[in-house]
Structure 1
Amino acid sequence: MTNFVLIYTGGGMPESEEKVAEVMAAWGAWYENLGAAIVDGGNPFGASKSVTDKGVSDGPIGSPPATGYTIISADSLDAAVAKVQNHPHLQYGGQVSVYETFQM
């Protein structure tokens, strides 16, 4: 099995407590459905800085900024993408980028 990093971008925040509870339940169900395929449940991202050969700047490079990550395991990139097709982040206009990792 190979590990894949899921990077979340975009999406909106629910405006009511009821919607927050609904979103959290959907994420919990998604994690439960993947079971042992979850390598690292991840976290949302906070403040950021970008570092280049020209210096340091506030905020991320690129748009929209990344909002969090999860690491999963799967047999292939296509299998990892299949696990993300029903991700709750997609329900609110978000995107999930799937990156294959390599063991070194």
Structure 2
Amino acid sequence: MPNYILAYHGGAQPETPEEGAKHMQRWRTWLSDLGDAVVNPGTPLGKSTFVSAGGVMTDGGPEALTGFSVVSADSMEAALEMAKACPFVEIGTLEVAVMKEM
């Protein structure tokens, strides 16, 4: 079964610590509900920097990569269903891609 990366982009900051705790609990429940499909539950990322032939951009932009999870699924459609149920989509966006073997 292939693995899929769920890349978290952006994400509004909670207005209160209580709101943040409530959102985090919903995210943990979502992960728990995925069961054995979870390969890597999540890795948060710090501020990103973009490097290109044109130079270096340090502001990360509004849709900067803020973290990722890895899940195992039978198909892209199944991985997308998992992603659509993630509470993060209420505050940011998720990018889903199959992880290819080299």
**Same fold flag (TM > 0.5):** yes
Partner of 2:72 in structure 1? Answer: 73
Report the aligned-residue RMSD. 1.6
What is the rounded CA distance, in whole Å, between the counterparts of 1:68 and 1:50 in structure 2?
A: 15
What is the rounded CA distance, in whole Å, between the counterparts of 1:25 and 1:81 in structure 2?
A: 21
Partner of 1:90 in structure 2? Answer: 89
Work out the percentage of aligned pairs sharing the same amino acid: 36
What is the rounded CA distance, in whole Å, between the counterparts of 1:65 and 1:48 in structure 2?
A: 7
- Mark the runs of 5 or more structure 1 residues left unpaired by the alignment: none
Partner of 2:101 in structure 1? Answer: 103
Give matches, 1:44-59, under 5 Å: 44-59=44-59
- Mark the runs of 5 or more structure 2 residues left unpaired by the alignment: none
What is the rounded CA distance, in whole Å, between the counterparts of 2:6 and 2:39 in structure 1?
A: 11
- CA apart distance, 1:20: 1.3
State the number of aligned residues.
102
Q: Secondary structure at the match of 1:7?
A: strand
What is the rounded CA distance, in whole Å, between the counterparts of 1:3 and 1:16 in structure 2?
A: 35
Q: Which has the higher strand share?
A: 1
Report the residue type matching 2:72 in the other structure.
S
TM-score normalised by structure 1 residue count: 0.86
